[in-house]
Amino acid sequence: MLFPGFPGVATAVGLFALIWLIIYLKSKGTLIVFDPGGKHGEFGKRLLPMYLDITKFVLGLAAGSIVLLVGSLNLNQSNGRSLRPFASPLFLVAMSIIYGVLFMILLALNYEYHLHHPNDPRSYTRFQYTRNQSLGFGALVCFCISYMWLIAAATT
């Protein structure tokens, strides 16, 4: 093992690759459009704020989890517990934050480009669609699995 949190990082990267593969295979042959119903600008009015709010909520929970767990274990050194058993789930939480931030940035950038180039068929490609979907769902899945892992590590 390279470092104590390596299994968490490997899990996060593996989950991201698996999610991307599933989404890529499911989207094969489908037309990728940003705006629902073909109404230009509709995604930005209805869906973009909702996606960003959900992501911000998950990121807030993830960041708070890291701060609370690390802080509580460091303040309570008398119990003799180290952070080593929590390294992998903490890295998984951190990767969920990274995926979430990348999701928000790339989704906003792709949508901005789409708004400025509405007639360009390359304004939102299948690659961008699958990458954005993978980052969003990867952040959520990593967050959920990290919490299960944290519970297992805390109770053993």
Q: Is 142 inside any structural domain? A: yes
pTM over 0.85: yes
Cα→Cα distances 49→43, 53, 104, 132, 137, Å: 9, 6, 10, 15, 17
Which residues, 6+ apart, have CB-to-CB distance to 32 below 8 Å? 124, 125, 126, 128, 129
Q: Is 35 inside any structural domain? A: no
Q: How confident is the model at residue 135 (pLDDT cuts 50, 70, 90)?
A: very high
**pLDDT attached to residue 119:** 79
Q: Is 34 inside any structural domain? A: no
Q: Is 36 inside any structural domain? A: no
d(CA 129, CA 108): 12
pLDDT for 102 beyond 70: yes
Q: Is 33 inside any structural domain? A: no
**Structural domain boundaries, residue 122:** 6-27+42-155
Task: For residue range 40-94, list pLDDT tens digits in order.
Answer: 778 888 889 999 999 999 999 999 988 887 777 766 555 556 778 888 999 999 9
Our count of domains for the chain comes to 1
Q: For the chain, what is the mean pLDDT?
A: 88
105: nearest Cα among 144, 64, 56, 63: 56
How many CB atoms neighbour CB 7 within 10 A?
17
Q: DSSP letter string over 92-123?
A: HHHHHHHHHHHHHHHHHHHHHHHHH-TT-TTS
Residue 130 CA, distance from chain mean position: 13
Average pLDDT over residues 100-124: 89
Task: For residue range 8-22, list pLDDT tens digits in order.
Answer: 999 999 999 999 999
Q: Is 148 inside any structural domain? A: yes
Q: Is 123 inside any structural domain? A: yes
